[in-house]
Chains A and B, each alone.
Chain A
């Protein structure tokens, strides 16, 4: 079936640097996208979302970019901190048969080096 995937499984950045996590999706009908952060032993935590009628959305230290032409999503984290170390997942609405629920990408493990 259609899926959401990521380019890099692990990303290591220096504390204070900016990081970019990428995600490719294949369902052209997807209209809502979310980035989640998951720390060890916890459930996913919402970071930021974007709808298909937008190409950029900013939050506190985070920016999500959406390129519908190439079905690509990215999460930019500015001035990374040790607490940003986690696994990051992109997700999109399943959009199948009227059912809700999310389709998740594989995940990127972000490591912040001191």
Chain B
């Protein structure tokens, strides 16, 4: 059974710092991997989607990498801002059309 783990569970940084969030999954035979942002009490905002054949995806200050063979992904946030404060969720899809399986998330707090 696929399990997704995110480290650290929480992270506090001053504004301007670059940071890395980690995600690992137990079954490397995934279809794709996706990073989401969730604000308190709110739904999900999709940030980046990486197909199993891809190594990384970039969007603005965000860069997500995927090492499928080792079962790992990282989300890199450059020049963090207070508005980046949220919970970041990593999710994997085992097969096309199946449901995403989520990690517990990393709660990020960026102080000004």
Q: Do A and B bind each other?
A: no
Chain B interface residues toward A at CB < 8 A: none
Chain A interface residues toward B at CB < 8 A: none
